[in-house]
Chains A and B, each alone.
Chain A
């Protein structure tokens, strides 16, 4: 199958490559770019393990062609660490509150939580639960994930306040 040229920004870095028109974004990220944080759990948009951020929106990358992301700004969980390589706030809060077990859903969860808190910096528990309902976890029962996200919101708001 003939290939097309794609160019996008991933975690702040410009990348390009050749891909078939049918190549899914998740496969381009994982196999061409070796960005293996986003995972494949269902390939039908149900589980959210493949969630990435595209131009400021949470997107399930298992059902998007890389061609559709041509020219886009993509962020994955790898892009959410601090500049010095330490864990970002949400990543740290997931660790602090035991918001992960096997770790397979975690990259998608954290990437989705990142966007949720951009959209709604001070969510209620109910808003977190609703906002995270597109991401499945089989290990944690969500209780500590919700706790981690609420704690992240507090910490990010405190940081914002301190900076102002």
Chain B
């Protein structure tokens, strides 16, 4: 056996474990079109569902006439709220403790709301029938501005009339949802009142949408013989969906099997439960046939899962020297017609209280007011942990605004306020315990890498040249140092609908030394099948290529809360390491028995246990696996498998330093990214290739959001950006190349020290792009301007500053 001739380094390399850029196992299927996405599922007799949607943002429904639709050959049924009411399914609970209409119950609250559900033999007939359903609407006054909504006499949620208590405490007005506070109000206001310098701004993070390339959809299949419901769908949290379906349908949970097949991107869009799922389940129960529903792009952008829409009013106080003494923030959060935010129960504004960022701010206060308007529900974490990107954008803008007020360099202002390495674990003023960090090292590395001093000189020269009429282009240097909070989360304070946010992994070692592992998470492109096998390979010494990884089938995978909020590696990744360690512990006993020594007399060596002091006497993991199935070992059960449910003791706090250098044409508002440098510290790095890919993709989503992407409404509540013609997604043409870099500060409480990375680039990218735009115009007096910075808005900035002569 060649094992004896290989060095430990060679044996380690053969495992393709943690730290190597292992090629993705998923790609063999995907590159030849052999993925299996929900719309690829075809079943015998399968029917298609499609929605009649409201053209109005606020209207009373006087009548729905189905006759013409039902008369169309091939139409099986048309469901309305009246049909669902006897089942109690015309409304459904939301993740945020509110309830949402499945089908319009007397009125509609946003354009695109589901009014009736048509079931037909094929998708063309369903689409025809949608046109034939006649709905008589009476228009009502529309509220699209959350500040107006809090003053208006118009009652949006008549079903809540008179309810002064909501899911998250008192309601102050009939369009008010909740107030959520963190930190010390009086102390913070006292600091601000007595400060040397205070900067105050309204920072608006506009409404946008995750817009994965695959829209949301499902296939519901009720087997009337067995009484078992199988629900395939684009679910980022399949187990949670199973529990929710059981709770709202009354079907026993063991009779529901939820399967997430391959998912074509999620970014938060596929966390929630949507009316399409409920209607498809009902339709399958009623017809006894499988029913498929897949939304089209316009439905996706108009109705499922918007993100952001936070008006963040901030005050930041500092000494004359620039030491920050206090931070105050009041946020008005536009939640749309129903509060369907995807947040842990105790956090109706997510983890917005990470808004003190990377800085040692002794005193802070945050309040968030949630408001109903005539917009779509959602409030999902679009490629970020719950509201973390809003928090990062807020603090990184406030730092820039403070730098202007102090007439200081913004890089230096950050440096003198960073939490120092020796302060970790760090208790933030708003209630978090940051696990680890080394911000100064990352910052200095980033500034050096881009040649920061020279860039500032070039920028100063450019301003001179501009003033002298030699150029019409300005140079912006966008700085960001972000700190995230991901990996929700500890069960003691994190749950969704009462389900604790632990996660899980089960590993089974086969007799011949290969393995299968199943997790409670679900990949949507992150490459779990590749990276989680690497964790196991390093932990138990079997090659990653010999480990199958499965997710997304609730009948086989252990219970877990799914993939979003960068929680897969921090939580399920930890469970994977812990399950592997249980296997290794048993393997140690088997090895000792086989080697005829005491358990404590063997030691782990890459892929084997060897006798201490006699490394030539060993048993490889492969040999141990076989022994587990063919030897009667006293005191040990046969077999070699383990399951771990991991309840993390804390969140993880990835951080990074991003710098964007942007050229801006003052006359056209056009921009060009000249350089983008992204330094990430996600703790231990499992697969550098995949980390880089995540950063490229996340920064590009940030580019989209900062520079043009939005869900915009007119004053009638019409969605103005409902197709990919209007909703900005950068192409290869306007997307730049990125330079990635890293430092490594492991998480002290995570079994392998990993922190998660998928969302960092979006969280850090948005302020980096936005700050670059602001920085370009800073020499001409710009302090604050709202995203998205499309060409028109940039042109308006230039025009407003008098730069067009």
A residues with a Cβ closer than 8 A to B are: 1, 20, 22-23, 27, 30-31, 34-44, 46-47, 49, 76-78, 80-81, 87, 91-92, 94-96, 98, 100-107, 110, 128-130, 132-146
Residues B26 and A103 in contact, CB atoms below 8 Å apart:
yes
State whether the Cβ of B775 lies closer than 8 Å to any Cβ in chain A: no
- A160: shortest Cβ distance to chain B, in Å? 22
**From B24, B31, B700, B733, residue with most partner A Cβ within 10 Å:** B31
Question: Judging by beta carbons under 8 Å apart, are A104 and B732 in contact?
Answer: no
User: In the complex, A77 Cα to B29 Cα: how many Å?
Assistant: 11
Instruction: Give the number of residue pairs across the A-B interface with Cβ within 8 Å.
Output: 176
Is B32 within 8 A of A80, CB to CB?
yes
Residues on B with C-beta less than 8 A from A106 are 30-31, 33
Q: Which of A38, A101, A144 counts the most chain B CB atoms within 10 A?
A: A101
Contacts of A22 in B (CB 8 A): 124
Chain B 106-130: CB-based contact to A (< 8 A → 1; otherwise 0): 0000000000000000011000000
Which residues of chain B are near A134, meaning CB under 8 Å?
731
Given contacts A30-B40, A144-B693, contact A107 B723 (CB under 8 A): no
Residue B699 is within 8 A (CB to CB) of chain A in the complex = yes
CA distance A74 to B525 in the complex (A): 28
Interface residues as binary, B713-755 with A (CB distance below 8 Å gives 1, 0 otherwise): 0000000000111000101110101100000000000000000
Q: Look across to chain B and name the residue whose beta carbon is closest to the beta carbon of A20.
A: B124
Assess whether B267 is interfacial by the CB under 8 Å rule. yes
A129–B33 touching, CB < 8 Å:
no
Flag if B732 contacts A142 (CB, 8 Å). Answer: yes
The answer to whether B723 touches A44, judged by C-beta atoms less than 8 angstroms apart, is yes
Q: Given A34-B42, A95-B23, A141-B697, do A78 and B33 touch, yes or no (CB 8 Å)?
A: yes
Contact flag A105-B213 (CB < 8 Å), given A76-B33, A129-B733? yes
Question: Which residues of chain B come closer than 8 Å to A40, judged between CB atoms?
Answer: 39, 294
Give Cα A72 to B371, complex, Å. Answer: 55
B40 touching A101, Cβ below 8 Å = no
Taking a contact as CB atoms under 8 Å apart, the answer to whether A138 and B738 are in contact is no
In which size bucket is the chain B interface?
35 or more
| Contact present for B31 and A95 (CB under 8 Å) | yes
User: Contact at B27–A95, with CB atoms within 8 Å?
Assistant: yes
Sample (27) of A-B pairs whose CB atoms are under 8 Å apart: A36-B37, A39-B39, A41-B214, A41-B215, A42-B723, A44-B723, A44-B725, A46-B724, A77-B32, A78-B33, A81-B32, A87-B28, A92-B31, A98-B23, A103-B31, A104-B213, A104-B214, A110-B31, A132-B731, A137-B697, A138-B211, A138-B267, A139-B265, A140-B697, A141-B697, A143-B696, A143-B735
Interface pair A133/B693, CB less than 8 Å apart: no
For residue B284, give the distance in angstroms from its CB to the closest CB of chain A.
19
B701 touches A138 (CB 8 A): yes
Residues in chain A near residue B267, CB distance under 8 A: 138
Question: Which of these, A78, A130, A138, contacts B733 with CB under 8 Å?
Answer: A130
| CA of A133 to CA of B296, assembled, Å | 22
The 4 closest A-B pairs by CB, nearest first: A37-B33, A104-B264, A102-B525, A103-B30
Q: 7 extra interchain contacts, Cβ-Cβ under 8 A, other than A20-B124, A77-B31, A98-B23? A: A1-B124, A94-B31, A102-B212, A102-B214, A103-B26, A140-B693, A142-B700
Q: Indicate the member of A27, A34, A91, A130 with the most B CB atoms within 10 Å.
A: A91
Q: Is B737 within 8 A of A143, CB to CB?
A: yes
Give the CA-CA distance A135 to B730 in the complex, in Å: 10
- Asked if residues A94 and B699 are in contact (CB atoms below 8 Å), the reply is no
B68 interface residue per 8 A CB criterion: no
Q: Are the CB atoms of A138 and B723 closer together than 8 Å?
A: no
Residues of B within 8 A of A37 (CB): 32-34
In the complex formed, the residue of A with least CB distance to B125 is A1
Q: Would you give the shortest CB distance from A26 to chain B, in whole angstroms?
A: 10
Do A142 and B735 have beta carbons less than 8 Å apart? yes
A145 neighbours in B (Cβ, 8 Å): 732
B447 shortest CB reach to chain A, Å? 23
The reply to whether A102 and B524 form a contact with Cβ atoms under 8 Å apart is yes
Cα distance A31–B40 in the bound complex, in angstroms:
8
Nearest CB of chain A from residue B456's CB, rounded to whole Å: 27
- Smallest CB separation, A102 vs chain B (Å): 3
Residue of chain A at shortest CB distance from B267: A138
A47 cross-chain contacts in B, Cβ below 8 A = 213, 297, 724, 729
The reply to whether A141 and B738 form a contact with Cβ atoms under 8 Å apart is yes
A38 and B24 CA atoms in complex are apart in Å by 21
Q: Nearest Cβ distance between residue A50 and chain B, in whole angstroms?
A: 11
Known contacts A42-B723, A44-B297, A104-B213, A36 near B40 by CB under 8 Å: yes
Compute how far the CA of A129 lies from the CA of B735 in the bound complex, rounded to whole angstroms.
Answer: 9
Q: Is the CB of A146 within 8 A of B31?
A: no
B525 touches A132 (CB 8 A): no
Residues A36 and B700 in contact, CB atoms below 8 Å apart: no
**Hey, which chain A residues are within 8 Å of B263, CB to CB?**
102
Contacts of B690 in A (CB 8 A): 98
Check B689 against A98 for contact (C-beta < 8 Å).
Answer: yes
| A12, chain B: closest CB distance, angstroms | 15
Give chain A residues whose Cβ lies under 8 Å from the Cβ of B37. Answer: 36, 39, 104
Q: In the complex, what distance in Å separates the CA atom of A147 from the CA atom of B37?
A: 26
- Docked Cα-Cα span, A142 to B703, in Å, equals 13
- Nearest chain A CB to B124's CB is how many angstroms away? 7
Q: Which residue of A lies closest to B36 (CB)?
A: A36
Q: Is the CB of A91 within 8 A of B213?
A: no
Contact pick for A136, options B32, B33, B524, B731, CB 8 Å = B731
CB distance from A151 to the nearest CB of B (A): 14
| Contact, CB under 8 Å: B27 / A100 | yes
B526 interface hit (Cβ, 8 Å): yes
Is B692 engaged at the interface, CB distance under 8 Å to the other chain?
yes
How far apart are A59's CB and chain B's nearest CB, in angstroms? 16
CA distance A58 to B168 in the complex (A): 53
B213 touching A46 by the CB < 8 A rule? Answer: no
The answer to whether A103 and B525 touch across the interface, beta carbons within 8 angstroms, is yes
- What are the residues of chain B within 8 A of A76 when measuring CB–CB? 33
Cα(A68)–Cα(B732), bound, Å: 29
A95 touches B28 (CB 8 A): yes
User: Which chain A residue lies CB-closest to B761?
Assistant: A141
Whether A42 pairs with B696 at a CB distance below 8 angstroms is no
CA distance in complex: A76, B34 (Å): 12
B19 in the interface, Cβ–Cβ < 8 Å?
no
Q: Is B309 an interface residue (CB 8 A)?
A: no
CA gap between A92 and B701 in the complex, in Å: 26
B24–A95 contact, CB under 8 A?
yes
With A and B bound together, what is the CA distance between A1 and B125 in angstroms? 10
Given contacts A41-B297, A136-B724, contact A87 B32 (CB under 8 A): yes
Kindly state whether residue B35 has any CB partner on chain A within 8 Å: yes
Is B362 part of the binding interface, using a Cβ–Cβ cutoff of 8 Å?
no
Q: How far is the CB of A93 from chain B (nearest CB, A)?
A: 9
**Distance in angstroms between the alpha carbons of A102 and B801 in the assembled complex:** 44
- Note all chain B residues with C-beta closer than 8 A to A95: 23-24, 27-28, 31
Give the CA-CA distance A30 to B724 in the complex, in Å. Answer: 23
B490 within 8 A of A: no
Q: List residues of chain B with CB within 8 A of the CB of A139.
A: 213, 265, 525, 693, 697
A95-B32 Cα distance, complex, nearest whole Å: 11
Closest A residue by C-beta to B264: A104
- Residue in B24, B697, B699 whose Cβ sees the most chain A Cβ within 10 Å: B697
How many whole Å from B686's CB to the nearest CB in chain A?
14
**A-facing residues in B488-534 (Cβ within 8 Å):** 524-527
Select A42's contact among B35, B42, B297, B525, beta carbons within 8 Å.
Answer: B297
- Taking the closest CB of chain B, its distance from the CB of A142, in whole angstroms, is 4
Q: Which residues of A contact B124 (CB under 8 A)?
A: 1, 20, 22-23
- Known A-B contacts A81-B32, A95-B28, A102-B212; the reply to A136 vs B729 at CB < 8 A is yes
Of B213, B267, B723, most buried by chain A (CB within 10 Å of CB) is B213
Residues of B within 8 A of A38 (CB): 33
A133:B732 contact, CB within 8 angstroms? yes
A87 vs B30: C-alpha distance in the bound complex, in angstroms? 11
